[in-house]
Structure 1
Amino acid sequence: MLRNLSITFTLIFLSLNIYAQKVEIIQSTTIFEKAPFEACHASTLVDLGKGKIMAAWFGGKHEGNKDVVIWSSIKTGTQWSLPIEIADGIINDTSRFACWNPVLFKTKNGTLFLHYKVGPNPRIWWAEYKTSINNGKTWSKAQKLPKDFLGPIKNKPIQLPNGTILYPSSTESLDEKTWAIHIEKSDAECKNWKKININCDTFGVIQPSILTYPNGRLQLLCRSRQNVIVESWSENNGETWSKLKATQLPNPNSGSDAVTLKDGRQLLVYNPLTAGKNWWEGRSVLKLAISTNGENWQDIYTLENHAKGEYSYPAIIQDRNGNIHLSYTAERKKITYVEIRLVRSP
């Protein structure tokens, strides 16, 4: 009996120690104050090294409008550069489509990728990408991914130790009734693509994030129509995946993002409410949660807390020095950026 009590108290102490986190704000700002577009959304971040962070997002008159292009800015020290256009949906002199959902990713060999979508809507868009070998100073011409491949839909890929890149992907059917996630993978050069299907059960899910664990174990966390974040697990570096199941985390049919920290813990940025009558309802609160096992999550910081409004589509990364960087949409008018450090409470 005493031994069981000792084990119980030890587990409680370890649990409290895990979650006894102080979030230290290093910087909190908007990436731009004035910009040559009316609306913006779907930001992404990448660590360029030497203290520089690049952000990208789509912006134009409104989501889906033909003038929507991909913009980017680079943070040096505490200052963000003026937004510049880095990709568009121009097909020819008479044909143009909106751009969507940029995803920045830097491979182990130093190549910077910009993945994004082009098309009239998410049901019939296609995937394009550009590369840069000088941290975004110049970009290659846009290239399309192979037919029927979409690459990362919203959140960043991961690169395995053998160089293989895994892309968290998803599709939306033409009748808008079916949402489903899957994994795509390529080699380190963005070639030799393969699709890995996942049993989505009865869930309508899109926009997964990938988390990593020891011994080739991976986890997906997905946006759903069922008012909950949904998960899937792999035990073999993403070659096969478990059938989707619900987590205990609420989700108002809004995008989230997650990252595996260097110390093995997991961070998740998400809207912790449920959906309302209108699509934007439930996006007025944005929180940061932590976990050691991907199953038990604890909220540790509130980024936004409002009665109404939209604060959504977060991105999260950790830089080489261990600091954590977040960005998210603020009322479709600004992109908010926050740099934090996790400090264990005494």
Structure 2
Amino acid sequence: MDKKEPTAVITEAFIYEIEDALTPECHASTVAVSNGVIVASWFGGTEEKNKDVGIWVSRKTNGSWTVPVEVVNGVQDNGMRYPCWNPVLFKPKGGPLHLYYKVGPSPQEWWGLYMTSTDDGETWSDPIKLKDEILGPIKNQPIELANGTILSPSSTESLDGNWTIHLETSNDMGATWTKSEPLNDPNEFGAIQPALFNHGNGRLQMVSRTKNSVVSENWSEDYGKTWSKMVATSLPNPNSGVDGVTLKDGRHLLVYNPTDQNWGDRVPLSIALSENGKDWYRVLDLEPLTEATDREGEEYSYPTVIQSEDGKVHIVYTWNRKTVKYVVLDPKKLH
């Protein structure tokens, strides 16, 4: 069933048309608003894991997206080249726009870096490598608490196959970070790529992608210092990335693939809402499943979602690995 409510959708567009693509494939897009400029980034190249995969950026100016530019690649000082992975845009209050990303032969062996931009994504600093134990936000954006503390949702995929999530915390606008212990038992849940919701008064919720066919959750009552044991939510998950945001009106919005086929279907791509983080209601299919959909060949995945100061919700996601789709919603019309 197509649950799309056209009245909630303000904008739907590709950041670039497939026939204009500068890379055969793209994935793992991210979006931020910097001084009113909408900036998007993703990794692109011949195929995920290939050495020619770099980080690309496009900016929405004068109502249209700029031609994507590769802002960094994985070439090392010794001439070796590795693929780039999972960019994450984040703008701390009063700080420059940050672009976190990973470089390395695989998610088991990658390392974290970041660049900053003082002109809203037009130009970027040289890359800065994070300390060895710090990976940076793995897929989804950090959140900034009222006191300026930045909480970065992160995870580790180890060479022995274990998936664990953790939290990285900064009290100096990202200059230095501390890392929590793993927040899940990988024998119970294989979990990565967490996203954070802020319920207020120190109450935080972290939801994660898992190998267990469900979205999992952890809760904190002390601003992220300690966390409850990971448990399953009611939301299905086909081992694909999710993202969410706490809206200005207090509701929580999640973008996800509502199927439970492990490593399987990444269609449809949908939105669920919750008042309390526990009871979720699927309210909109961004990419509905239709009879014409070739489930083997279709992929709408890895969403990033933010809410801008004007209240609009901005979403980017992988569209068949061929381009990045950009959607703007009016959350007041989502019920």
TM-score range, shorter chain: over 0.9
User: Does 1:183 pair with 2:167?
Assistant: yes
**By how many angstroms is 1:344 displaced?**
4.6
Work out which of the two has the higher radius of gyration on C-alpha atoms and give 1 or 2: 1
- Which one of the candidate residues 282, 286, 302 is aligned to 2:265? 282
Secondary structure at the aligned position of 1:213 is classed as strand
Report the counterpart of residue 246 of structure 1 in structure 2: 232
**By how many angstroms is 1:147 displaced?**
1.3
Specify every segment of 5 or more residues in structure 1 that has no aligned partner in the other structure, as ranges: 1-20
Q: What code does the residue aligned with 1:209 have?
A: A
User: Does 1:318 pair with 2:283?
Assistant: no
Q: How does 1:93-172 map to 2 (within 5 A)?
A: 94-172=79-157
Distance 2:240 2:323 in 1: 18
- Which one of the candidate residues 22, 33, 46 is aligned to 1:61? 46
Secondary structure at the aligned position of 1:343 is classed as helix
**By how many angstroms is 1:310 displaced?**
0.8
**By how many angstroms is 1:246 displaced?**
0.2
Question: What RMSD over aligned residues (CA atoms) do the two structures have, in Å?
Answer: 1.6
Report the counterpart of residue 11 of structure 1 in structure 2: none
Distance 2:78 2:190 in 1: 38
User: Does 1:27 pair with 2:16?
Assistant: no
Q: How does 1:198-209 map to 2 (within 5 A)?
A: 198-201=182-185, 202-209=188-195
Specify every segment of 5 or more residues in structure 2 that has no aligned partner in the other structure, as ranges: none
TM-score by length of 1: 0.90
User: Does 1:303 pair with 2:291?
Assistant: no
Distance 2:221 2:281 in 1: 24
Change (3 A) 1:266 1:145: same
TM-score by length of 2: 0.92
Distance 2:121 2:316 in 1: 19
Secondary structure at the aligned position of 2:164 is classed as strand
Secondary structure at the aligned position of 1:236 is classed as coil
Distance 1:123 1:93 in 2: 21
Identity of aligned residues (%): 49
Alpha carbons 1:326, 1:339 under 8 Å: kept: yes
**By how many angstroms is 1:343 displaced?**
3.1
Instruction: Work out the number of aligned pairs and report it.
Output: 321
Alpha carbons 2:28, 2:139 under 8 Å: kept: yes
